[in-house]
Amino acid sequence: MKKISPMEVGERIRSVRGNKTQTEFAKALGVKKQNYISRYERGESHPLICWCGLPRWAGSAPTGC
């Protein structure tokens, strides 16, 4: 399995988030604070959650969930 860097995760989150605000996106995913999304997008932190809720924005289901 390919190892994904925090920066790649951040780019994917920004892409999937689209025109939603970080606050809207965090709320939709059940993330308690918007600043977590900000940290993920900047590559400062890796999310410790399964992104199974993303298919409605991403158009495809992630693997491994």
In a domain, 27, yes or no: yes
In a domain, 18, yes or no: yes
Q: pTM for the full model?
A: 0.65
Total domains present in the chain: 1
In a domain, 1, yes or no: no
Q: How far apart are CA 29 and CA 47, in angstroms?
A: 11
Per-residue pLDDT tens over the stretch 8-62: 888 888 998 999 999 998 888 888 888 889 998 998 887 765 554 455 545 444 4
In a domain, 21, yes or no: yes
- The residue segments making up the domain with residue 20 are 6-56
Which tokens go with 31?
A: 């993330």
Residue pair 45/39 in contact (Cβ under 8 Å)? The answer is: yes
Q: How far apart are CA 2 and CA 38, in angstroms?
A: 24
pLDDT at 64 over 60: no
In a domain, 65, yes or no: no
Q: How far apart are CA 31 and CA 27, in angstroms?
A: 6
